Structure 1
Amino acid sequence: MKPHIVLIHGAWQGSWAWNLVRPFLDAAGFDVHAVDLPAAAPSPAEEISLDLYAAHVGGLLHSLDGPAFVVGHSGGATVACQVAENDPDRVRGLILIAGITPPGGKSFSDITAALGEVRGIEGIWPYLIWNDDRTICAVSKQGAREIFYHDAPLDLVDWAFTQLVPQPLGGLVLTPHLTDERFGRIPRLYVEALGDRSVLLAAQRRMQELLPGARIAQLDTGHAPLLSAPAEVARIIIEEVARETMAA
């Protein structure tokens, strides 16, 4: 049976974020499933939450003929962690790329607030364009270029910007509920993005301190290696799946 790989995108994005990575995974013989979280489709802003996201991915996991490796990028890593907590028997391993992985009961905002004196810790927030009641926001072109995709080819940056969608606040402030008994028993790999301007390396490492237990890999990229280094992202995923499959 082909290993199942479930790919979860970050905020403002969609399954398209994996377009450059997916051909490598397909060629490796995996059964690849790139999800679109509900915020990427027309949904009332007040209905968007981590619980909704996790239930959406959980439904996919239960439709498969076996457990899957779950890969999350950025805020998609928070979703991946909650999915592992909710359905540990359906998750063979977690791969968290430039991941937002706060411990149970905390949000990424809690992490950045504690690191408030670190230059640039605010990441993408100054580049967001909000609606009048500040419930939905979009990423400015400057933010996309300077914070998310600064090390990707410019033509890809401009294309990715056109794909970004407005994000409800409930899809940004994600507070997971994790336990050692469920989430804690899932093997996981955290992939640091060393030049990240959105989730700064200081924040990545602080979250690893607060949620220990992951093995570490590194990419010398910005926040979106899915665009700037897709072959390297795929290599890490393929090697991790091989490692866990052999260890099983």
Structure 2
Amino acid sequence: MSASKPTIVLVHGAWHGSWCWKFQTPALEALGYAIETVDMPCTSSVAGTTQFDDAARVRSVVESLLTEGKRVAIVAHSYGGPIASAAIKGLLDNRNLLGMIALCAYIFPSGMDQGAAIRSIGGLPYVNWDSPTEGLFVTKDPGSLFFPPDVSPDLVEWAVPQLSPQSMAANTGIVPPQAWQDDGYPGRLGYIRCTEDMVNPLAQQNTMIEGAGGSDKWVIRTLEGSGHSPFLSRPAEVAAAVDEIVKQFEAGVPSK
């Protein structure tokens, strides 16, 4: 195991941007990690951008770090889960890529038609489609969706104006090929569950984890009482969970 900590690449979720990691970054840096953030095309207010575009952006950051010889782990929130998993597809043979940690994130299989899945459940009642312009969409009441029960009112007030319209094509398209479905090496996937998440409820998180191999494949940690935005409400706890999982990644990565 290297004496120095790896670089953590932080991948935001839908409607968010790298701004959301403002408090998470110093909490991880305090534990010795270097941080890289990514702003994905999906939240650039450009209609038609897809998960493939977002994955390509994240992959470019990861590959650049690996080319520099840096050791890398990825932390991906919410929508960012399938994006990060797509970004590292085919890279797990590089021992400097330690693994990916999903932070109350979605786990979707390659080729899944998300638009069809959304239609099958009758749509998403908490969003406005084609808003503010065609091909973009926003949440109706983000303050009551993303942040309860544990983000303070002042941070909600700070965060909500920074949320951006999301490309509809990114959330209703086809899921790119996913690294989590590869055999890879043991101990390269982590999941941090949030028990009070309103966006991706705990039962759904558990179902996705079990469907993707369960605890045999994923190193799991749990944030009791946390909603969907623990990077705002409890960044020190997120950092501690990331640190524990990364240490398990390091133990499982094969030597040259």
Residue 188 of structure 1 aligns with which residue? 189
CA distance in structure 1 between the partners assigned to 2:148 and 2:185 by the alignment = 36
> Does the Cα contact within 8 Å between 2:40 and 2:57 map onto a contact in 1?
yes
Residue 72 of structure 2 aligns with which residue? 68
Please give the residue correspondences for 1:35-54 in structure 2 after superposition, counting only pairs within 5 Å: 35-43=38-46, 45-46=47-48, 48-54=49-55
> Does the Cα contact within 8 Å between 2:90 and 2:179 map onto a contact in 1?
no
Residues 120-139 of structure 1: CA deviation (Å, up to 9, x unaligned): x97xx323233367521122
CA distance in structure 2 between the partners assigned to 1:9 and 1:183 by the alignment = 26
Give the fraction of aligned pairs with identical amino acids, expressed as a percent. Answer: 30
Identify the match of residue 93 of structure 1 among 83, 94, 99.
99
Structure 1 runs (4+) greater than 3 angstroms displaced: 107-114, 179-186
Please give the residue correspondences for 1:115-194 in structure 2 after superposition, counting only pairs within 5 Å: 125-131=124-130, 135-140=135-140, 143-151=141-149, 152-173=151-172, 175-178=175-178, 182=182, 184-185=184-185, 187-194=188-195
TM-score between both structures, scaled by the size of structure 2 = 0.82
Q: Which 10-residue stretch deviates more, 100-109 or 24-33?
A: 100-109
Q: Which 10-residue stretch deviates more, 170-179 or 71-80?
A: 170-179
- Which consecutive unaligned segments of at least 5 residues does structure 1 have? none
Residue 34 of structure 1 aligns with which residue? 37
Residue 202 of structure 1 aligns with which residue? 203
Residues 30-82 of structure 1: CA deviation (Å, up to 9, x unaligned): 12101111123353x12x11111111111111211234101100011111111
Q: Which 10-residue stretch deviates more, 10-19 or 98-107?
A: 98-107
CA distance in structure 2 between the partners assigned to 1:131 and 1:37 by the alignment = 19
Residue 79 of structure 1 aligns with which residue? 83
- Which consecutive unaligned segments of at least 5 residues does structure 2 have? none
CA distance in structure 2 between the partners assigned to 1:102 and 1:111 by the alignment = 11
Shift of residue 179 of structure 1? 5.9
Instruction: Establish whether residue 8 from structure 1 lines up as the match of residue 11 from structure 2.
Output: yes
CA distance in structure 1 between the partners assigned to 2:203 and 2:113 by the alignment = 16
SS of the equivalent of 2:89 reads helix
Question: Which amino acid in the other structure matches residue 6 of structure 2?
Answer: P
> Does the Cα contact within 8 Å between 1:226 and 1:233 map onto a contact in 2?
yes
Question: Which amino acid in the other structure matches residue 227 of structure 2?
Answer: G
CA distance in structure 2 between the partners assigned to 1:109 and 1:195 by the alignment = 26
Q: Cα gap change, 1:235/1:2 in structure 2, threshold over 3 Å: closer, same or farther?
A: closer
Name the structure with the higher helix share.
1
Q: Cα gap change, 1:160/1:181 in structure 2, threshold over 3 Å: closer, same or farther?
A: closer
Q: Cα gap change, 1:224/1:180 in structure 2, threshold over 3 Å: closer, same or farther?
A: closer
Q: How many residues align?
A: 237
